[in-house]
Amino acid sequence: MHDARDAEDIRLLAANDHATLLATYYPVVLERCRLRLPDPDAWEVAQRVALRLLSELRRGKEYPVPFRVVVQMVTTWTIKEFFARPRTDPWPEELDLPAPDPYDDFETDHDLRLLFGDLPERARHVLELRYLEGYDHEEIARRLGIERNAVDQALHRGHIRLRELVGG
């Protein structure tokens, strides 16, 4: 089956009958696009495939593989390019997410401060600087005037104590 198709493709390529060659593959390309994309987009991608192939054929490009393989590869690439492009379509209203809660960060910080309140002073300071202020280990050590190793130990002990308090 492929041998007959390949022989016909070779004949059409030799005759420079690009229109007939692409017309034989267009239904297959369109069907493949329709399986992956909604209808208006499928038509657009199928047109892009046809235009790309026509452009290459007119430039005299020759392929080391059968033309049917070229068609499949160009279709795959064009579909991938279509999915990779930035979308400007608005989200459907049913998918709109609620606005962020302006008090969520405040409540989280408040809860963490209450939880940290039961810790020893050094562990509490280190955990507050790490999780509430966002400092890294070196910055915490510099701010508190202690060694980096002491920061790591305070974090470790603080985590253990928090697990005990939470019951985990």
pTM of the shown model:
0.50
Span 45-63, average pLDDT:
91
Task: Fill in the DSSP letter of residue 93.
Answer: G
pLDDT digits (tens, 9 = 90+) for 136-168: 999 999 999 999 999 999 999 999 988 888 875
For the packed helices 2-14 and 67-84, what is the interaxial angle rounded to 10 degrees? 90
The architecture that CATH gives domain 114-166 is: Orthogonal Bundle (1.10)
Classify burial at 44, counting beta carbons within 10 Å of its beta carbon; exposed 0-12, middle 13-18, buried 19 or more.
middle
Q: Domain spanning 2-86 has what CATH number?
A: 1.10.1740
**Domain segments of the chain: what residues?**
2-86, 114-166
